[in-house]
Structure 1
Amino acid sequence: MSYTAVHIKCNKDLEETVSFLLQENGFDGTSYEQGNLIAYCNSGQFNELALSDILNQFGLKAEQISEEKDQNWNQVWEDNFKDADIGEHIHSRAPFHPAKEVKHDIIILPKMAFGTGHHETTQLSAISLEKLDCEGKTVLDMGCGSGLLAILASQKKASRVLAVDYDIHCVENTRENIQLNAAANVEILQADSIAHLNETFDVIVSNIVKNINLKLLPEFAQKLHPDGHLILCGFIDTDIDQLVLAAEAHNLILIEQNIANNWLQTQFKFK
């Protein structure tokens, strides 16, 4: 399999946001060093027009586009992986990083799955989830990526955690990370919908892109326990009015909002 490598000059403040958007639009992974972001995509799926649409939002352009020989891309990504402190009580790290004495020390095996704890949306979601009482509760992590949020819920003594993602790579990475963290009560499901599930959840957390969150909002409202909490992330701050209006259509009211680097995290409950 051949890969297309796109070289983009951008500062560190933009790197995580641009990486997130590229990976949500078909890129398999990125690496970053000294102001140069390299994004990797299966050559058969590379769409230069879609790439330009993303980069134009930030005044960026591709400095170089090249074909790369197949290699261990996870190793490339792992070489650039750093641990992350999330709020006051959560530490996300690879197996080769030392543990920290915090409430939640979470091991994430470096792969290309999103949700390692570095991006603002993962951090905002994790901090919001960490503040909730999950003991004895059922928790859904929709768009689980690496499984970090599902593992956090497990560590917070949830009775059952369901981690859902449509991407097989994310499902496999979540399974590995569940084992590394001995999170035995986390179940994994490969799916892009929860409409077929015959259960409700005390907590639903969904850290995925805006359009998918809005599409799934009716399902979240249907599967949320009457006294449950819905955490949504993946929006930007200017989306707040649209999101609140969409939630009100399902009798949900906004009870929390936080912003980091223009990324918006919200929490809703039923009226």
Structure 2
Amino acid sequence: MSYKAVHLICDEDLEETLSFLLQESGYEGSSYEKGRLIAYCSSEEYDEKSLYKILSNFNLIPEKITDVANENWNVMWEENFKEARIGDHIQARAPFHPSSGARHDIIISPKMAFGTGHHETTQLTAISLEKLDCKDKQVLDMGCGSGLLAILASQKGANRVLAIDYDANCVQNTKENIQLNKAKNVDVLQADSVSQLTEKFDIIVSNIVKNINLRLLPEFVARLNKDGHLILCGFLDQDLDELKKAATAQGLKLVEQNIDNNWLQTQFIHE
């Protein structure tokens, strides 16, 4: 398989937002160094019109677009993969990074799955989950990406963790990372909803885009135990009122909200 590498010159404070938007548009990962963002997309998925529509919001055009062979793409991604310190107690790192001795030392194989710990939404969600009591709880990680959140829940003593993603690459990467971390009680499922599930959960985390989170909200509530916690991320701060209205209509109570660089993370309790 071949890939397109889109080279962009942008400020560091724009890098995370651009990476997230491109990932939601089908890009499989990105790297950033010295003012240059390189985003990778399979040649089959590459859509020039969609790319330019995203970039027009920031008055950007590509510096260049190049073709990259699969093996070279993986090497470049791994070489640019940086460890991430998340809050006070979580470290996300590649196998070749040394451990910092963090309470939750999570190894992520750099395979371009989203949720490696670098984006604000992943960090906000992880910090919120880390504060919850997961011991002997049932936890669902929707849109698991690299599996970081599922592994965190396992490390915190969850009795059962189910990680779901629609992307086969993310499912495979999550399975690899589960093995690397020797995470217990974690199952992985490829799916784009939770409607097929019959079990219920004490904690549900969903770090995906706004429209999908809102669409899945009734399904989340149906699968959430009474007094269970629902952590949602992938919204912008301007979406708070819309999200609160939709959640309240489903019998949810807002108990936490945090914002980082305009990204909004919320936590609700099922009353």
Pairwise TM-score range, normalised by the shorter structure = over 0.9
Is there any run of 5+ residues in structure 2 with no aligned partner, and where? none
The answer to whether structure 1 residue 128 and structure 2 residue 131 are counterparts is no
Q: Please give the alpha-carbon distance, in whole angstroms, between the structure 2 residues aligned to 1:60 and 1:43.
A: 21
Q: Which residue does 1:111 correspond to in 2?
A: 111
Shift of the 75–135 alpha-carbon distance from structure 1 to 2, 3 Å rule, reads same
- Give the C-alpha shift of residue 155 in structure 1: 0.4
Shift of the 68–109 alpha-carbon distance from structure 1 to 2, 3 Å rule, reads closer
Q: Which residue does 1:173 correspond to in 2?
A: 173
- Give the C-alpha shift of residue 161 in structure 1: 0.3
The answer to whether structure 1 residue 50 and structure 2 residue 50 are counterparts is yes
Shift of the 158–69 alpha-carbon distance from structure 1 to 2, 3 Å rule, reads closer
CA deviations on 1:28-85 (whole Å, 9 max, x unpaired) are 2222222111122222322122112211222322222233444332221110011111
Q: Please give the alpha-carbon distance, in whole angstroms, between the structure 1 residues aligned to 2:184 and 2:242.
A: 38
Summarize the alignment of residues 141-180 of structure 1 with structure 2, pairs less than 5 Å apart. Answer: 141-180=141-180
Question: For structure 1, which segment, 29-38 or 158-167, has the greater mean C-alpha deviation from structure 2 after superposition?
Answer: 29-38
Q: Please give the alpha-carbon distance, in whole angstroms, between the structure 2 residues aligned to 1:221 and 1:207.
A: 16
CA deviations on 1:173-217 (whole Å, 9 max, x unpaired) are 100110111112101111111111111100000001111111111
Displaced runs of 4 or more, over 3 A: 66-72
Q: CA contact under 8 A between 2:125 and 2:205: conserved in structure 1?
A: yes
Q: Which residue does 1:230 correspond to in 2?
A: 230
Query: TM-score, structure 1 length as denominator?
Result: 0.97
Q: CA contact under 8 A between 2:29 and 2:114: conserved in structure 1?
A: no
AA of the residue aligned to 1:172 = Q
AA of the residue aligned to 1:234 = G
Q: Which residue does 1:64 correspond to in 2?
A: 64
> Which secondary structure does the structure 2 equivalent of 1:45 belong to?
coil
Q: Which residue does 1:213 correspond to in 2?
A: 213
Q: Please give the alpha-carbon distance, in whole angstroms, between the structure 2 residues aligned to 1:238 and 1:107.
A: 33
> Which secondary structure does the structure 2 equivalent of 1:46 belong to?
coil
Question: For structure 1, which segment, 9-18 or 36-45, has the greater mean C-alpha deviation from structure 2 after superposition?
Answer: 36-45
> Which secondary structure does the structure 1 equivalent of 2:65 belong to?
strand
The answer to whether structure 1 residue 89 and structure 2 residue 85 are counterparts is no
The answer to whether structure 1 residue 23 and structure 2 residue 43 are counterparts is no
Q: Please give the alpha-carbon distance, in whole angstroms, between the structure 1 residues aligned to 2:69 and 2:177.
A: 29
Q: Please give the alpha-carbon distance, in whole angstroms, between the structure 2 residues aligned to 1:253 and 1:70.
A: 46
Q: Please give the alpha-carbon distance, in whole angstroms, between the structure 2 residues aligned to 1:70 and 1:174.
A: 20
AA of the residue aligned to 2:14 = L
Query: TM-score, structure 2 length as denominator?
Result: 0.97
CA deviations on 1:67-111 (whole Å, 9 max, x unpaired) are 344433222111001111100011111111111222111111111
> Which secondary structure does the structure 1 equivalent of 2:71 belong to?
coil
Identity %: 67
- Give the C-alpha shift of residue 6 in structure 1: 1.5
Q: Please give the alpha-carbon distance, in whole angstroms, between the structure 2 residues aligned to 1:151 and 1:70.
A: 28
Q: CA contact under 8 A between 2:3 and 2:69: conserved in structure 1?
A: yes
Q: Please give the alpha-carbon distance, in whole angstroms, between the structure 2 residues aligned to 1:185 and 1:44.
A: 36
